[in-house]
A and B are shown apart, each in its own frame.
Chain A
Amino acid sequence: MTQVTQLLRDWSAGRQEARDELLDLVYDPLRAIAERHLHRERDGHTLQPTALVHELYLRLIDQRHVDWNDRTHFFAVAAQVMRRILVDHARRKKSDKRGGGITPVTIGAAADVAADENFDVVALDVALENLEKVFPQQAKIVELRFYGGLTIDETAGVLRVSPATISREWTMARAWLRRALSP
């Protein structure tokens, strides 16, 4: 059994420290995968984040010893790690640019992406932290959907609530974040 598998099981069994160990363990491999995307160095891997997380998942997890429960836990952790990676990346970029005037690092800068999809990665992270204080479940949903690339149904599976609930909460979270990010 791989270490990741064991940690997932421990976490499922209620050992909370296992979650942090898991985060540390998946951070580097996931970052390596993400960096390929961020630096445009990859050799054409499919880009959907679920695929990316799948790649990591298949690499780290011993398929034979994992049940459905473990899997959803894994995706929850991976989404959290993706968030950290993106924010770290943005912060690094920002600090590189200091002196030449601060440019917010945005995603969605290309001409053919709608202007509203341009937003500051770090600002989104801060807004998400604020949302978390008031509606922790909504923040979790954003993490899974936006950073983890999970569908409504998959998110419902991870959080063990109905897809209808996820959909309602997601709608509100989006409104909250959009308001927070609007100039």
Chain B
Amino acid sequence: MTAFWEDVRALFQAAAERPAEARAELLRDADPSVRAEVESLLAAHDEPTPFLDKSALQLLDAADGGARPGSMIGNYRVVGPLGHGGMGTVYLAVRDQAEFAQRVAIKVVRGGESLVQRFRQERQILAALEHPNIARLFDGGSTPEGLPYLVMEYVEGTPIDEYARTLPIPEKLRLFLELCDAVQCAHRSLIIHRDIKPANVLVTPEGVPKLLDFGIAKLVSQTESTSTRVMTPEYASPEQLLGNAVNTATDVFSLGVLLFELLTGKNPFAGVTRSPMTEAPRPSDVSGLRALRGDLDAIVLAALEVDPSRRYGSVEKLADDVRRHLGGHTITARSATFGYSAAKFVRRNALAVAAAAVIVVVTGIAFAATLHQKRIAEHRFEQVRSLARSVVFEIHDAIAPLPGSTSARELLVRRALVYLDNLAAESQENPTLQMELAGAYMKVGDVQGLPYHPNLGDTAGAMVTYRKALGIAREVRESEPENVEARRLLADVHDRVGFVEQRGLRWPQALEHHEQARAIREALPRDDRGNVALARTWTAVGDCRYIGHLYKDGTPRQAYEAALAVVSRVPATSEVRRDALMELGRAHQHLGGYFSGSGHDLPRAIRHHDAALHALELRAKLDPRDAVARRNLADQYVMKATAQSAARDGAGALESTTHALEVLTPLAAADPKNVEAQHDLAFAYGEQGRALLLLERFDEAEDVFGRAVAIHQRRLADDPSSAEDRRDLSRMTGFLKDVQAKRPPSF
């Protein structure tokens, strides 16, 4: 930049900040050429009309043609445009034939024929949505140009944020409760709004809030041509940002954003580039209002949880807490939620490998695989096959869990995959060999990253390997539909893929795989082994339903109780008694989590936890030296502690977590790379911290939360893709904040 332009800039910026009459003095002494330039810029600056006020695409949208005043849309005469929205243009119109001029809002949507069709299907449902706080949907059709339109109740009002700006907090909350009531009513009809934001909530001059556009977002986004989603990023839930399935928790999140705005006057995500993992700040921090500290902070943040399973389970619960706060009662937002504890499903196999022996064998195979001579090819094939069987099944299964084997197993996995892939290329149309291969892939996948088992923490790699197994097992089932082993294997692989999806918090996908496994298993002959496996699948189905809020095909409780029912058929004398006890314990454990998580029935939850403890204790006593069985027992103590904390029994919870840590600490120390052991340990620390917090032993609580934080941070450094660690880390740092908030001030 030349000195001339530098002067122009300095002078312009100084002058532009002042009113026109105060500029003369400033300009008087300037160099004439600089002055001329600045004056010409100031003239442009002072023009009153807008310029570049909207961004390019906003202008493009506004330029989007549309209906002229006086033209007809269906039976309605257009009065003029009301505004441009995400989906199209909204017009004010009047019904001509009506005895009195009924005013309506008509939304002309840019969409295709499929939208019109879909609208016809859904119209009745939406039109039946009658609630004083919901703008009615009257009619719909398509314009001569083929654009679908929706005729809606015209609401004359002010956007809720503007309306509420000057209201005292209790008034704001009461307005919000009316809104919640409307959303709740729609949820009862299984209609989700998906785009709740201030612009969609108008308050009439009489002070009645009206929610616009119910169900419209879904209507519009389900047309055929694109996968686009109607949403507003500042109000969208993380699952919407990720393009995942939405449910009522999505509306809970958007209501949370709206409540945040009502209370603080600001959007929680204003000024930040938001990712799906972005956590909302505390309303009291953003606004500086002391009145928001405590309850209201907690309520808003509980509605804005990134993980849907940790949010309020329904709008009703959110509204209840707001009502409790207004009535001066204790809110639920700070008590235990179930999501995180239910995510800890405990089932472990002995899977560790005697590393040295395996590597010797694998290296031998890799060497054999490099030999090219045609003459020995067939011989080699047989050799590889028998070695594969030996490594993956015999050696693997013969050796008891060994701590410290992680590094060696990583090498095993890499080598094993190389030769399995080679073998796969040559094994087509040989069902027996294909079965062996699929089984081998499955085992390798287990070592890579089967959640809730000792594994190497490579979930992405595990998924790739499982998909190979899935493909092969499907082929075998198709060529031999009656092959029981093939079907059982297919179900096993489906379950595993489901577990990996669960670990990534992709509940709908997980549920689909578990449901496939369930369908296969139910059609198989039901021996003891089959019953145990089916129980495991049912429990997984329950977990997905519960944590993913996927209640379409039944409740979580039904699934868990189905698991209890099938596993109870296994007699005490069965040779699979060990596994049966395990599944029995798990089903009770998850039912316990379910009842404590819903918060309704803590005594019942604790009864299930005690039943689980009983089963797992029996299991551990069958093999006193089995470390895995002891870990499962330890984890169950942690689960029970969660319920005890929820029941505000701090002493009981502390005792339970102490039992747990006695087992977990030495195990985690023995094999620091074992991901599951680290997770268990962190989880137990978290629960112990909560117990200590209840007992107001703040220093100790801070210490154990800090340990949990350190574990998650280490894990994330190793595997940044672990959504679970990210979530748990934010949970633990949240607890640390709680400690600081509750600790009495020191002098």
Give residues in A with beta carbon < 8 Å to B.
34, 36-38, 40-52, 54-55, 58, 63-66, 68, 71-72, 75, 82-83, 86, 106-110, 112-117, 134-135, 142, 145-149, 151, 153-154, 157, 168, 171-172, 174-179, 182
Contacts and interface: CB of A to CB of B under 8 A. Distances in A.
Given A42-B110, A117-B62, 7 more contacts: A36-B228, A50-B233, A135-B9, A145-B52, A151-B270, A151-B271, A176-B44
B112 A51 contact: no
Contacts of A64: 720-721
Contacts of B229: 45
B62 A112 contact: yes
Contacts of B228: 36, 42-45, 55
B345 interface: no
Contacts of A46: 86, 230-233
Given A135-B9, A147-B56, A154-B271, A42 B226 contact: yes
Determine the main DSSP class of B at the interface with A. loop
Contacts of B276: 58, 63
A128 to B, nearest CB: 11
Category for how many chain B residues contact A:
35 or more
Contacts of A146: 52, 55-56
A113 B232 CA distance: 23
Nearest to B50: A114
A178 B40 CA distance: 11
B45 A175 contact: yes
Contact of A43 (B41, B43, B58, B220): B220
Given A43-B220, A174-B45, A37 B273 contact: no
A86 B59 CA distance: 12
A147 B226 CA distance: 24
Given A46-B232, A154-B273, A179 B58 contact: no
Contacts of B115: 43
Determine the main DSSP class of A at the interface with B. helix
B61 A37 contact: yes
Contacts of B242: 58
Interface string B99-119: 000000000011110010000
24 contacts: A41-B110, A41-B225, A43-B226, A44-B220, A46-B231, A48-B55, A52-B57, A82-B57, A83-B56, A110-B66, A112-B62, A113-B62, A113-B63, A116-B49, A116-B50, A117-B62, A135-B9, A145-B52, A149-B58, A153-B271, A172-B41, A174-B45, A175-B12, A175-B41
Interface string B683-726: 00000000000000000000000000000000000001100000
B551 interface: no
A112 B228 CA distance: 27
Nearest to A163: B271
B378 interface: no
A117 B110 contact: no
A71 B273 contact: yes
B639 to A, nearest CB: 29
A161 to B, nearest CB: 14
Contacts of A47: 57-58, 60-61, 84, 86
B145 to A, nearest CB: 10
Nearest to B45: A175
Contacts of B12: 172, 175
Given A109-B63, A112-B81, A177-B52, A43 B16 contact: no
